[in-house]
Amino acid sequence: MTPRPLEASLPDDPFLDYCLWPYQPLAPIEGKIRSINLLRNSFDVMGVSEGMHRVVDDLVAKLGPWLSVWGLKFQDGMVGWEYYFYDYERLDRYTSISRVLDIMSPHLHCPVVPQERRPYFMFSLDLDDDLVTGKRNLDEVHVYVGNVGSNVSSGICYTQTVDHLRMDNVYYFFNSETEMESIIGKIACSAHLDLPSDISPLYFQEMKDAKTIVVANKKNNEGIYYSRVTIDHLIFFLHELSYPKDLVAFVQKNRDRLDHMFYDVGLDYTTVDGKVTVLKSGYYGYF
């Protein structure tokens, strides 16, 4: 498969984090490229079919640009992808599960029936080459709702299948400048962490200046996310967690063409034999 040409950043491009919240660019955009190039490059590095590119093409053309967030996930030496869609209008939404599944329908089959009368503000779908080549169906949709009554901004994730709905995760959003004590406290208050414990494998001092740090309680582990980190922080993260060399090389090669944007990174962890262990990690962009 021939690699796609790099997409240049244009003057009217928005700058968005993985919640689709806007920010001002960090540098002039002349000569820069969009974050979608990291996604396209990962397709090329992993040798997936053209169908993965076509899903992205259709989302841009039929849903609209700047409404989709991509996440590249790395676990047990394997790369996967998850796409996230937000609409903070809740029931009066444009970006619905039904709309996105309809756009994707030429490329994959999903038997899950969306529940559009429920007030979700976000949903996500795990995609891979087996889906777009017809080897399996998309049998789960991750649905996120608000957590009213919490003093900390938070959300709850449920996974919907054909047969059932289960609660999976709760996410808490903290301001790193004003709530660092609460962040550390939230990390420490965990059923998956032995105390005292060395949390340096997951709490990176190098990224403590991220605007928002998200701590998540999950079904089988915990998670921490750093929102709005620089390109150099992203490169540090990719090296620290031993991402495939070709993925890292592309980011390093294009570092000066990617330094106008913030990035978002995250990891899942638990304690194994008394040691904090990273189970999965990921980084994010948008298109």
pLDDT in tens, 25-49: 999 999 999 999 999 999 999 999 9
Q: Which two tokens stand for residue 239?
A: 């090296």
Q: Is the peptide bond before 196 cis (omega within 30 degrees of 0)?
A: yes
Which residues does 225 contact at the CB level (< 8 Å), separation at least 6? 213, 214, 216, 264, 265, 266, 267
Lookup result for tokens 């998540």? 216
Helix (H, G, I), strand (E, B) or coil at 172: strand
Helix, strand, coil percentages in the chain from 3-state DSSP, rounded to 5: 25, 30, 45
Q: Which pLDDT score, from 0 to 100, does residue 184 have?
A: 87
Are β-strands 141-146 and 222-229 bridged in parallel, bridged antiparallel, or unpaired? unpaired
**Euclidean distance between CA atoms 251 and 256, whole angstroms:** 9
Residue 200: pLDDT above 80? no
**Euclidean distance between CA atoms 178 and 215, whole angstroms:** 15
Which backbone phi and psi does 81 adopt, to 5 degrees? -135, 145
Element (H, E) at 97: helix 97-104
Higher pLDDT, 161 or 183: 161
Q: Which pLDDT score, from 0 to 100, does residue 228 have?
A: 97
pLDDT in tens, 91-124: 999 999 999 999 999 999 999 999 999 999 999 9
Instruction: For 38-67, give the DSSP string.
Output: HHHHHHHHHT--HHHHHHHHHIIIII-TT-
**Euclidean distance between CA atoms 207 and 2, whole angstroms:** 36
Q: Which pLDDT score, from 0 to 100, does residue 201 have?
A: 64
pLDDT in tens, 52-91: 999 999 999 999 999 999 999 999 999 999 999 999 998 9
The percentage of residues in the chain with a pLDDT greater than 70, rounded to a whole number, is: 98
